[in-house]
Structure 1
């Protein structure tokens, strides 16, 4: 394991996902300062997430054709540029284009950075989990940075939001200038000369599993606060606190899944996560006590992210000839399906209530668990430096 390289990539992931989190964090300020409607805000979110998730596999395919390490700093710098321009734009169209540009930068970053993190971490699932949590940490700071930089009707100060990306770019250039920053590069290229064939059928099953996971995840994320306040009678503060708890427990689950994958194998982490999700979500749906609901929320967040790291590395090993594209599909396109389906579950909630909707997504999660139990492991090819060739 190249810990220095992994640490650098984890830092870039934090910065990149900081800008992914800044888009929704800036929307309330745009509503107040520019008078955007809810429909206009939805259009901006579509520009940020919809386009990014669709093109991310394309960036992955591009990165698979040759070494594209420059996409990592370019990605988070473009993401930062888009956010800065969106905050300083004078028209809605310019704002929409700027946010779409930011989404493209985020999409360009993830496939090559994920493959590089896998190479830096070798066979360790824990290493990939650390890289993944870096993104979560970065996104969690987005609301605070937005409030400090542009709070109080000061969107014109959005140029301040670009500082983290510039500092990280300088750090990247300094680290990349040292020959030891990318050890074993020649060996990695030799080991990748004749990779194993792609296992498309198994990869398709994994993608279907992730899609059926993303629908309950996005639905719970969007409706959990309302369920806690409207159905269970909790306070508005509690509604916000439960979302924070769910997100934080997801980060814990990601790290725990990496640890479990290293000790018991990544298939154990995947299967344990999907099996444990079912009673946790069922408990959240059935209990009528706020304290118990909080307990089930935390346990659900941990369970839902136990398989996260293992699924990323498994996707890369299913497609050893196209690991960046595999990352782009699993982290981009497959995960975005949950967001695309969320309006349908919103309509269902209006018609039948939040509890009924959560019970419905429990059924979708049962399908995901069934598919996950059918997944089979595929060993990566490892070169003499201990880097993951896949």
Structure 2
């Protein structure tokens, strides 16, 4: 592997770190926005919804378009949009302008993921493809985990407006990625040739039935997980816990890091024991820990928060892999569905929980309603007709 190809791969990995650094800032910002702008829980949740819905609508189509034509968005522009949109949203008191900025950030994220994932997959040597894909996924998960802590420290010591300074690493990263792209395009024009269209015979008969169930499961999982991430800071800061922003940010960061370990465990164990088996196991294990969050206090509540995150992410990476194997030849489209559409459904669910909290007058009671999709997930997972891992490998060979 020559230097230009390696630089191009790591530019995609670095871009993933930057893009996923900004989206988890929203839940940490929300409590301050609720107080500063006198927002209801519904309007606060709608900010997250604007981000997730915009990403969900664009991402599957971007992935499908890339699969069929080989054309994709410039990664450096996506990084720039993501950083500018989120960072500058805190400087305005105009709610509509804030939604526009957040939506622009979501657009950058939506276009980035299928483009970057396809580049890493295509440029990596076959014998190292798994390693580079793992590094790519982990880079985003790590930045997604540390983002809330960085935001919490900045808000506590320097105020909400200090978040605007986070636009600097995004701009510098975009400049670096742009320079790498220019060198790469000059020396490796062949890599930009049009790819072959997706062939229907690559897909199993009635592929849409198990794929539809996987998308449904991903959507229900995203509803509860995004809901927890969105409202957990408000629950801990504004609720009976009465925590400060730094402590809350630390809890969310630990929760997200444990989710990273769940992703790694889910991918490894699904290779060994089968995707469906691990999907059912993960969803079933998440149910009791979700209940601990709202039915207990003290250390048991924290066990519930952290272990729910572990099993929710455990199921996430398994379901994404299942979707890619159900749609061979359409990696961008499969990723767009699981990373985009399903997360968008989760964003809509966050707004519904906010609406329910306003109506019920209780955020904890409204959040506990998410136990319903949490229980439905393992039941639906049992009914997925999915070939075993050995059969998948045999079909691919």
1:373 aligns with 2:382: yes
Q: Secondary structure at the match of 1:38?
A: coil
Contact 1:125 1:262 in 2 (8 A): no
1:267 matched residue in structure 2: 276
Contact 2:59 2:336 in 1 (8 A): yes
1:67 matched residue in structure 2: 70
Q: 1:240 to 1:69 in 2, by over 3 A?
A: closer
1:362 matched residue in structure 2: 371
- Alignment partner for residue 220 of structure 1, among 228, 251, 256? 228
Q: 1:282 to 1:140 in 2, by over 3 A?
A: closer
What are the Cα deviations for residues 42-99 of structure 1, in whole angstroms up to 9, with x where unaligned? Answer: 6654443322222222212211212235543332233234446657779765554343
Q: 1:245 to 1:94 in 2, by over 3 A?
A: closer
What are the Cα deviations for residues 227-268 of structure 1, in whole angstroms up to 9, with x where unaligned? Answer: 66788x645146554333322211111122122233334334
1:388 matched residue in structure 2: none
Distance 2:372 2:243 in 1: 29
Contact 2:50 2:103 in 1 (8 A): yes
Distance 1:263 1:181 in 2: 39
Q: 1:337 to 1:235 in 2, by over 3 A?
A: same
Distance 1:113 1:98 in 2: 22
Q: What's the offset of the Cα at 1:341?
A: 2.2
Distance 2:396 2:345 in 1: 35
- Alignment partner for residue 133 of structure 1, among 119, 138, 141? 138
1:323 aligns with 2:328: no
Q: What's the offset of the Cα at 1:105?
A: 1.2
List runs of 5+ in structure 1 lacking aligned partners.
385-390
Contact 1:77 1:169 in 2 (8 A): no
1:236 matched residue in structure 2: 243
Contact 2:73 2:111 in 1 (8 A): no
Contact 1:214 1:338 in 2 (8 A): yes
Contact 2:8 2:184 in 1 (8 A): no
1:251 matched residue in structure 2: 260
Q: 1:155 to 1:122 in 2, by over 3 A?
A: same
Provide TM-score, normalisation by structure 2.
0.75
Q: 1:116 to 1:154 in 2, by over 3 A?
A: closer
User: 70-79 or 101-110, which moves further after superposition?
Assistant: 70-79
Q: What's the RMSD between the two structures over aligned residues?
A: 4.3
Q: What's the offset of the Cα at 1:357?
A: 4.3
Distance 2:364 2:91 in 1: 41
